[in-house]
Chains A and B, each alone.
Chain A
Amino acid sequence: MLDFIQQLVSGIALGCVYGLIALGFVLIYKATEVVNFAQGDLMMLGGFFVFTFIGLMGLDYWLGFLFAVCGMAVFGMATERILVRPILGYPQFSIVMATIGLGYFLRSIAGMIWGTDDLRIETPFSAGVLKIGNLVLAHDKLSVIVATVILCAALYAFFNYTRMGTAMRATSENMLAAYYMGIPVKRVVSLIWAISAAVAACAGVLLAPITFIHSNVGLVLGLKAFPAAVLGGFGSIPGALVGGLIIGVIESLAGFYLPQGWKDIAPYVVLLVVLVVRPHGLFGPSMRKKV
């Protein structure tokens, strides 16, 4: 029984990681209906930024964290301006391919600049564990869980209760109509890329003590976050968190109870089943066909 609970807890921690990355997918999808395949690589870049600020320049952890998040926000805006804006309005698949190309590019460039070794930084969460009875939870994982919940809540509130959030939802419903209503669509899209890159940077920094920083971390985790986003219903912020948790728990339990090899494919099996049975996910709006 204790084994089960311990697996459950570590699954939840893992799930929050996926949820945090899925949050980035969901934000961009929610506002512009673009799926950003480079999200995991933006996260990887965030990790490298924080390594540069803390590991190389010797800044304080929180200051480095702040700089990395701001730096990635600017980077996200620049990406939107250069790569996404010219092809906005063309078939979705070409934007997807462009982000795949971006991911390829970022991975290689990061490998060339920072090398291909595992890098690590000192964080306040690196050591120390939380003990509840016989349960053990490392501080670095706890920090991910707390940050994911806070970010989800904050972004959910942002989307539902602020003017800008409403403008973003309107943009995603119908861009042309949003233009007519006086919504600055270009600025909205720019901003959403900035926010999404900032969230990715948060994920990168918080994951640094767990997965270390290397150029391929984004590919692996980014592809695992897809099932999470789909399960939650692409476009729902609480869905990203819940989807992430379900995928994390399933992966963790599959690794413990099922034969070797199931751990890695269990999320994808779940994904396929969800896509066949309920393509709009747990929290997605139901699809109606209109001509």
Chain B
Amino acid sequence: MRFVFKTDYDQDIRILKHSGYWWSYGVLLAVLVAAPFLLGSYLQSQLVFVFIYAIVGVALMILTGFTGQASLGHAAFLAIGAYTAGFLQSLGVPFIVYFPVAAILTGVVGALVGFPALRLQGIYLVIATIAFAFIVEEVLARWETVTHGNEGMRVRTLDLVGIPVPRDSEAFYFLCLLVLVGTILLALNLLRSPTGRAFVAIRDSETAGKSMGIDLAAYKVKSFAISAAITGMAGVLFAHKMTFISPEMFTLLLSIEFIMVIIIGGAFGVHGAILGAIFMVMVDPFLTALKDDVPVLAASVASSFGMAQDAATQLQEKLSKIGSAAGLKGAIYGLIIMMFILFEPYGLYGRWLKVKLFFQLFPLYKRATFKRQKTYVKSERNR
């Protein structure tokens, strides 16, 4: 355990607190830079999805984790970014122009969504963002001159100042990594600026924030706009990764996946968004692998415990039948959400902090450190 002896106020808000941070994040970055040369193309492609989900996760973290405004409409922001990219590209606009344009446009739309949010709290805001997402989905399906409606839209290969960057290339991987690192730095810098402090104040108590002179309206709109703009950038990358976009890719279920990213990761730090993104993207191939291996494994375990051979084979068949049933994935997603909320409300990052603290304080760790305070429900209607 290392104590940083602070001699300067700036040390309080440093992103890299001491030399250990340089080492650990430097190694992580080096591993990520080396990854495409070491991993197969499948894992590299999964990593690109992790980056894209992580960008959206960071965006959502700014809005939900730090400003306390829940949103179930981020799939719509992603869609706006993706479609802006697709449409402008088809007009022949270069990437360096349409990438920022998509971010700005999505940011403006996000600010517009933020305005109703000024009067809404908690659950009403969630419902408003759902309504917004539905309207966007329907507009995408109907505005055929721009979006090609339900047929979907083909997105051509990304063209970076004359160099083609195909979706599976290492260059695309590095582009996504660059955007992710940029987003994280932006988020961290934002959070140590007065704006970020105001966001956190709004989350903790609107009334207290207001009485400290924070303009609630301006900061809520800002938070929505920033979050939406980052999601819009992720949308551009998403469009190029998928190479084909259609309205049914951006449904409520995708928004729920994004919310899952920050809930599973832990909705109180940028680390959480990254861990959540890794979990959400990797759970799918992991389940696929389990589907093939578990029945065989279960059967061999059963037969080694003295079960008759044909009974073991039957067990294996039954398990693989359950494994291949349609909709199993949805059930497991549902279970994962419920389990995390019931048993690990601080998410994966919270678990990591607990483990770290356990070793730092050994043998003085006490579980009550992380016990949450229960606040009994008082009517929000008269709040």
Contact = CB atoms under 8 A, between A and B. Distances in A.
A100 B327 contact: no
Which residue of B130, B142, B252, B330 has the most chain A CB atoms within 10 A of its CB atom? B330
A35 B142 CA distance: 31
Report the 8 A-B pairs with minimum CB-CB distance, sorted nearest first. A105-B334, A101-B337, A104-B334, A108-B330, A108-B331, A89-B374, A268-B131, A108-B327
Nearest to A275: B128
A94 interface: yes
A104 to B, nearest CB: 3
Interface range on chain A: under 10, 10 to 19, 20 to 34, or 35 or more?
A: 35 or more
A102 interface: yes
Nearest to B335: A105
B307 interface: no
Given A111-B330, A234-B123, 4 more contacts: A35-B126, A105-B331, A107-B330, A290-B382
24 contacts: A33-B377, A86-B342, A87-B345, A89-B374, A89-B377, A90-B345, A92-B380, A93-B123, A96-B126, A97-B259, A97-B263, A101-B335, A101-B338, A108-B330, A112-B325, A223-B252, A226-B127, A230-B124, A265-B138, A272-B131, A272-B135, A275-B120, A275-B124, A289-B383
A159 B156 CA distance: 60
Contact of A261 (B142, B263, B330): B142
Interface in A244-282: 260-261, 264-265, 268-269, 271-272, 275-276, 279-280
Contacts of B336: 101
Contacts of B141: 261
A112 B127 contact: no
Given A86-B342, A112-B325, A290-B382, A268 B135 contact: yes
Contacts of B285: none
B116 interface: yes
B138 A261 contact: yes
A174 B379 contact: yes
Nearest to A88: B377
A185 B132 CA distance: 36
B124 A279 contact: yes
Interface SS of chain A: helix, strand, loop or mixed?
Answer: helix
A112 B178 CA distance: 42
Interface string B318-340: 00000001111111011111100
B337 A92 contact: no
Contact of A108 (B130, B259, B334): B334
B207 interface: yes
Contacts of B329: 108
A1 interface: no
A218 to B, nearest CB: 13
A287 B263 CA distance: 30
B291 to A, nearest CB: 14
A173 B379 contact: yes
A126 B380 CA distance: 43
A8 interface: no
B383 A92 contact: no
Nearest to A171: B377
Nearest to A219: B252
Interface in A59-105: 83, 86-90, 92-94, 96-98, 100-105
B116 to A, nearest CB: 5
Contacts of A279: 119-120, 124
A87 B131 contact: no
A184 interface: no
A100 B376 contact: no
Given A96-B126, A97-B259, A275-B120, A33 B379 contact: yes
A92 B377 CA distance: 9
A109 B341 CA distance: 20
Contacts of A92: 122-123, 380
A291 B325 contact: no
